[in-house]
Structure formats: C-alpha cells, structure tokens
Amino acid sequence: MLYILAEYLGFPGLLNLIRYLSFRSGAAVATALIIGLMIGPRFISMLRVRQGKGQPIRSDGPQSHLAKVGTPTMGGLMILVSVGVSMLLWMDLTNVYVWACLLVTVGFGTVGFLDDYDKVKKRSHKGVSGRVRLLMEFAIAGVAVSLIVSQSGGMLYLPFVNGPVVDLGWWYVPFGAFVIVSFGNAVNLTDGLDGLATMPVIIASVAFMIIVYMVGNAKYADYLGIPFYLGAGDLAMLCGAIVGAGL
C-alpha cells in the first residue's frame, strides 16, 4: 500500500527509501514485530478466557504433555495478523509471487484455525479429518503454484546444478503443490503445544530471505549463476515479516 502511494507521488524525499527492497524488508520485520508485541498479551488473554481448558490433549501421548493442559490454541492467528498487516503496508500490491505465497500462508493458517476450532468446540483432540485437511491444503497450494507458473513457467532448478534440469510445464503445479503440502505438514509435526517450530521457521526464513533477494536481483543472479526472476526479490519482505512476527 505504501509502495503504491510512494510510486504515485514519485518517491519524493524520505519516501524514496520505499523504492529500495532492503528498506522495505527491514520495515516488514519491524512492523510485524511491533504488531505482535502490541496485540500479543491481550490476544493470549482473550484465548485463555474464551477457550477455558485450552486445547484437548491426547491421553495416549507423551506424559509430559499432560502438564501442559490449559495451553490456549489458535496463537497462530496472532502471527498471521502481524504478517498480513505488515505485508499489505510494505509490499508491491501488483506482485504475483507475493500474493501466491500469502495465499499459502493465510490459506494454511485458515485450515489450522478450522482444525483448532473444531477441537475446542467439540472438546476432542481429533479436529478436522486428515483427508479433508489434505484436500484443502492441496487446493490452496495448487492455486498458488498455478499463479507462479503463469508468471515464470515450470522450469525445475536444483542446487549446485547449472541451468534448469527439466521444464515441467504445467506439471509443475502438482509437483509444487506436493512439495508445499509435504513441508507444511512436516513443520506442523514439530510444533506441538509449545510452538517448537517457531525458531526453526525464523532461521529458515532468514535463509530464504537471502535466496529470494539474490534470485530477484539481476546482478547477483548473473554473478552467482542462478536463475533471475523479476519480482521474486519482493518475497524477502514476506520472509522478513515472518521473522518479525515469529519473534
């Protein structure tokens, strides 16, 4: 939103800083962090009041989990709000790559919310069935990958291999959707009741921030011998917002 406004005004004065991706990425980190710190305490207190006993815990799970009865669930909403507001403020609203990745972030978050809501409402650890969750996740990921393929094609690149390995074309959609759903559920398995996945996600986001910045910069991409995709660098802001919200 601010980028569109600054562009409309011709990037005058201090608004010229918004032209630079590095500035907007740093601003996305700070904005998401500040929003999280502002809404966090009240948000968690609200969840405790509304959920009462918190997330139901499986009786056949680790005994150490029983000591965590009453832990409120749906805390991911706080992270999604922080990321979403930060991105809408600093992103280029015309960038397809960012919208595609935001779709996955918010879409998977919605699936998680529905699952947690069902657990709390029914006082059961089962939640939404695994089959339904997977169907929703594949649908969301499929739409997102379709947006990306329509923008940049279906070339498959591998680390340390010069040039594309194969052009998958539109077959990249099911392949990409499978990768996204697989990684999403792998991260979910590590999370548990404590938000254990938060720090690994922050570390991975920093790594991906560097990668997408390089891919979105023609000079760096040419120097390093990696593919260049115009607009991909804007995903550094999304990675930054995730880091800020996670912290």
pLDDT at residue 206 in the model: 95
Lowest mean pLDDT among 12-16, 29-33, 141-145: 12-16
Our count of domains for the chain comes to 1
Could you tell me which residue, 1 or 94, shows the higher pLDDT? 94
Q: Is the pLDDT at 177 greater than 70, yes or no?
A: yes
Per-residue pLDDT band for 137 (boundaries 50, 70, 90) equals very high
209: which residues sit within 8 A by CB, 6+ positions away? 25, 236, 239, 240, 243
172 occurs within a structural domain: yes
Q: Which of 94, 112, 95 is nearest to 191 (CA)?
A: 112
101 occurs within a structural domain: yes
Q: Is the pLDDT at 1 greater than 90, yes or no?
A: no
Helix (H) or strand (E) holding 52: none
* Contact criterion met (CB below 8 Å) for 111 and 137: yes
Lowest mean pLDDT among 36-45, 58-67, 71-80, 228-237: 58-67
60 occurs within a structural domain: no
User: Which residue range(s) make up the domain with 190?
Assistant: 2-54+70-246
Placement of tokens 């690149």 in the chain: 157
pLDDT at residue 197 in the model: 79
71-90 confidence digits (pLDDT tens): 666 778 888 999 999 999 99
Radius of gyration of the chain (CA): 20
d(CA 164, CA 7): 35
pLDDT at residue 112 in the model: 85
Per-residue pLDDT band for 69 (boundaries 50, 70, 90) equals low
207 occurs within a structural domain: yes
130 occurs within a structural domain: yes
Q: Is the pLDDT at 115 greater than 90, yes or no?
A: no
Kindly state the average pLDDT of the residues 165-190.
90
Per-residue pLDDT band for 96 (boundaries 50, 70, 90) equals very high
Lowest mean pLDDT among 55-59, 72-76, 140-144, 148-152: 55-59
Kindly state the average pLDDT of the residues 22-43.
92
